[in-house]
Amino acid sequence: MLSKIKFIYLTTIVCCLTTAAANANSQDKDDEAQIRQTVSNIATAFNTNDSKLAIEQFAQDNALFWMLKKGEGHNYNSVPFKPLTHTASGMAKFLNHFKENSMSIAQNFQSIDIQFVDSGMALVKTSYEAFRENKISHKGVEYYSLVSTDSGWKIISIMFTFDPVKHG
Which CATH number is 2-164's, of 1.10.3720.10, 2.60.40.10, 3.10.450.50, 3.40.228.10?
A: 3.10.450.50
Query: In 3D, which of 160, 139, 146, 162 has the Cα closest to residue 63?
Result: 146
Q: What is the pLDDT of residues 36-64, one digit of tens each?
A: 999 999 999 989 989 999 999 999 888 88
- pTM higher than 0.85, yes or no? no
Measured CA to CA, the distance from residue 158 to residue 26 in angstroms comes to 27
The domains of the chain are located at: 2-164
Q: What is the pLDDT of residues 118-127, one digit of tens each?
A: 889 999 999 9
